[in-house]
Amino acid sequence: MSFGSPRRHYRRTDSTNERARELAEAGAPSGAVVTAAEQSSGRGRQSRAWSAPAGKALLYSAILSPLEERHGLLPLAVPLAVCEAVESLAPVSCRVKWPNDVWIEEEKVAGVLIEARPPRWAVIGIGLNVAIEPEEFPAELRWPATSVGRGVSVPAALAVLNVRLGEAVGLAADRVLEEYGKRDALRDLQIAWEGGPKGSESGRGRADGIDEAGNLVVETEGGRRLALGAGEVHLTLD
């Protein structure tokens, strides 16, 4: 499949994910995309805000409908598409910080927020920093941030992301896991977490890849292996 048609573009809206949710609820077709030059209430994961200076980031929400069982690893497939899109635009290498932040080196270039009403639809929200200057990022960011830069334009990023996302949502689960494994930025790093499973609500350990359900596998200092789900857990690098 491919994304980008139909497309609705706003000069300014509260959140493209919100606009796309409305369209999805109203029966918009799979592949439809909402973009904006600027958001007044851009949403990030875990109830955080997402902001970007007008016209300098790709603010993108795509509708996938219906949501099928084969889309179970969508949260991992989407950042892979972003990595491939960015790498086709600029001579950089991207990796994924589980579950779905995209990094160039150790700096975040894109974030993904998927909101879904299974089995009817998923809204795939992507914020990709395209031409934001270092001094334009807010000081209080959790992770250092970067942009694609190198003269790349937002329309060029949109065109290539539409294609790569279309390919990624069709990938079989084993391919998603294989490709993700090659781009896993946390592998072997010492991490700390909060909001983990009962009995291991917080802890520290070594990131040891991703399991078949898309959970982050960690080995604790005591040698226990745990699977952390993306929904609740808050990670920090130790």
Nearer Cβ to ligand BTN, position 38 or 219? 38
Query: What are the counts of helices (DSSP H) followed by strands (DSSP E) for the chain?
Result: 4, 12
Please give the residues from 28 up to 57 whose contact with ligand BTN meets the rule CB under 6 A: 39, 42-45, 48, 50
Q: Please, what is the minimum distance in Å from the beta carbon of residue 84 to ligand BTN?
A: 18
The Cα–Cα gap between 131 and 45 comes to 22
At 66, list the tokens: 């219906």
3-state secondary structure of 31: coil
Among 60, 137, 180, 193, binds ligand BTN (CB under 6 A): 60
Q: Please, what is the minimum distance in Å from the beta carbon of residue 219 to ligand BTN?
A: 26
Nearer Cβ to ligand BTN, position 15 or 226? 15
Nearer Cβ to ligand BTN, position 44 or 229? 44
Please give the residues from 198 up to 227 whose contact with ligand BTN meets the rule CB under 6 A: none
Please give the residues from 112 up to 171 whose contact with ligand BTN meets the rule CB under 6 A: 112-113, 125-127
Strands (E) across 136-233 are located at 190-194, 202-210, 216-220, 225-228
The Cα–Cα gap between 181 and 125 comes to 23
Q: Please, what is the minimum distance in Å from the beta carbon of residue 14 to ligand BTN?
A: 8
Query: Which secondary structure element, helix H or strand E, spans residue 162, and what is its range?
Result: helix 154-169
Write out the residues near ligand BTN by the rule CB under 6 A: 15-17, 39, 42-45, 48, 50, 59-61, 101, 111-113, 125-127
